[in-house]
Amino acid sequence: MELDKIEVVTDYKHLQIREITDSGGYHRRVLTSDMDVSGETQTIQRGTDENGDPIMKTVKEIAEELWTDEVKTAWTTFQAEQEAEMNPE
């Protein structure tokens, strides 16, 4: 599949990824900061440099920039809070 679009959503910096399948349709998935992204080597343009040339980054590089220790801790805490709320038994 070909990487088509990345959206950064929520304070937890989730990466919503849209890919184009071999048949031309869209396929979607979300990466969260507790996931292993070492294999996410597809590249996408993230802005331009001072010469106007595109800056290409891998999904892994984007994740590493956004997923600070603070973000990871906040996501882990939020997940635990939700788990306690929804599964109190």
List residues binding other proteins (CB under 8 A).
4, 9-10, 14, 16, 18, 20-21, 23-30, 32, 79, 82-83, 85-87, 89
Considering the complex, what minimum distance in angstroms separates the CB of residue 49 from other proteins?
Answer: 26
Q: What are phi and psi of 17, to 5 degrees?
A: -110, 130
Q: How far apart are CA 25 and CA 88, in angstroms?
A: 40
Is 41 in contact with 59 (CB distance < 8 Å)?
Answer: yes
**Cross-strand bridge partners of residue 48:** 54
Residue 26 or 55 with smaller CB distance to other proteins:
26
Cα Rg of the chain, angstroms: 16
Considering the complex, what minimum distance in angstroms separates the CB of residue 50 from other proteins?
Answer: 29
Considering the complex, what minimum distance in angstroms separates the CB of residue 48 from other proteins?
Answer: 21
Residue 50 or 89 with smaller CB distance to other proteins:
89
Instruction: Name, in order, each residue with C-beta under 8 angstroms of 84's C-beta and a sequence gap of 6 or more.
Output: none
Residue 50 or 86 with smaller CB distance to other proteins:
86
